[in-house]
Structure 1
């Protein structure tokens, strides 16, 4: 079985967050969704668990950070092409997210953009030239 990742995010409004993640291409898995949490499938191995604040608090003794004013993690997600990077950023903006919170990164062999979801969690979506990923030298910029 391949390794999987489950990213757990506290959200203020579960229904709105489900709609946001569906708008950027995630699929809700109803088997692991109830009124306190939702499992959003990004790929066969990448899942985002949206948890209400009370549910999230069950897993940590620490205070829940306000991702609108502080950062604890940056989430990076690869895409198959530059167009897919632009498409996901556009969908995030159309669904109420904040797009390009950092500068667009264009290094020729790698291209990336960022957005914040409705709760301020930062996602960096990027494309990298497959030849570079396979061990080729990146072109000089």
Structure 2
């Protein structure tokens, strides 16, 4: 089991603007209104190393919006425990993590719109992020 899967068992994510995959890959991300998706995927990083440096730098997450994908799982958006943070995720039907993104200054994501395999998540601060639900690194615009 990967570090991110262990954290997700308690519905926790690292407090870092990042995209995490269940297989253990992690990438820095940044809100970016100049891109069609509303964010940029930056460099990969080692989550295990980050967690070794500060194992308590995690946030509980709580879902505020959901789209049921049937047998293909769920899309989930919501808030972290710090107030200004938000997250978006794709889960299996039994709520295991496929991927998740956390943003420390997005505010909670409270709306999700799905069109085919592209989802748009909207936060209370009016950030609108568009993702390919199969792989958020794929361009959507």
The structure richer in strand per residue is 2
TM-score by length of 1: 0.25
Point out the structure with max Rg over C-alpha: 1
User: Which structure features the higher share of helix residues?
Assistant: 1
TM norm structure 2: 0.25
